[in-house]
């Protein structure tokens, strides 16, 4: 699928396409190479994706990491049906995977307010990982302070509501191969 026809997708007007399918693929490949080099191969790496938004990014990213990894997921919610974070972060699914002594890479689709990360990082640190790093496809750089800064960031978009490539509005638009603003 190319750019949306006449600036609309499923009847909803788009402001613009910020990142094309090709832009995203190139940056994800680069991030995968950087992550591969950052971790010793002989030590276990656990990649934890934050669902639902990160699933497409995570799938593409782990295929670009050229080393053995384990993958699991967490689900946190803060948006509901709105376009602005509710400010309340709920951990909806926590697999309680054993992170003790492992290198953990937390993968997020977008860092907006930073509340989700601020809620999850202390929880994960309390489980005794060997290291904990954050990788985000998008980072708006509007959070006041963060308990963990992202080591790998794909893009720094403007403060607009974004959809596509896993990002949604009321569970719609995740399947778009590009990232656009509503």
Count CA atoms closer than 13 A to 174's CA, side-chain side.
Answer: 13
Single out the catalytic residue among 109, 112, 118, 168: 112
Q: In this structure, how many other beta carbons lie within 10 angstroms of the beta carbon of residue 67?
A: 15
Burial 128-161 (b: 16+ CB within 10 A, else e): ebeebbbbbbbbbeeeeeeebebbbbbbebeeee
For the question of residue 118 being annotated catalytic, the response is no
State the DSSP string of 77-91. Answer: E--TTSSS--S--EE
Give the DSSP H or E segment for 157: none
Q: Are strands 179-181 and 16-19 parallel, antiparallel or unpaired?
A: antiparallel
Known catalytic residues are 112
């Amino acid at each position: 699928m190319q750019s949306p026809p006449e600036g609309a997708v499923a009847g909803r007007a788009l402001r613009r396409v910020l990142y094309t399918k090709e832009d995203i693929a190139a940056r994800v490949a680069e991030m995968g190479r950087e992550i591969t080099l950052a971790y010793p191969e002989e030590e276990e790496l656990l990649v934890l994706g934050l669902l639902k938004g990160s699933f497409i990014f995570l799938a593409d990213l782990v295929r670009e990491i050229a080393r053995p990894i384990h993958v699991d997921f967490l689900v946190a919610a803060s948006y509901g049906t709105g376009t602005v974070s509710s400010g309340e972060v709920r951990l909806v699914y926590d697999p309680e995977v054993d992170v003790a002594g492992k290198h953990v890479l937390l993968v997020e689709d977008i860092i907006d307010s930073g509340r989700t990360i601020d809620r999850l990082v202390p929880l994960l640190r309390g489980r005794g990982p060997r290291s904990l790093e954050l990788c985000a496809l998008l980072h708006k750089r509007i959070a006041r302070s963060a308990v963990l800064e992202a080591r790998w960031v794909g893009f720094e978009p403007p403060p607009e509501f974004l959809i596509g490539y896993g990002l949604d509005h009321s569970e719609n638009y995740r399947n778009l191969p590009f990232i656009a603003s509503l």
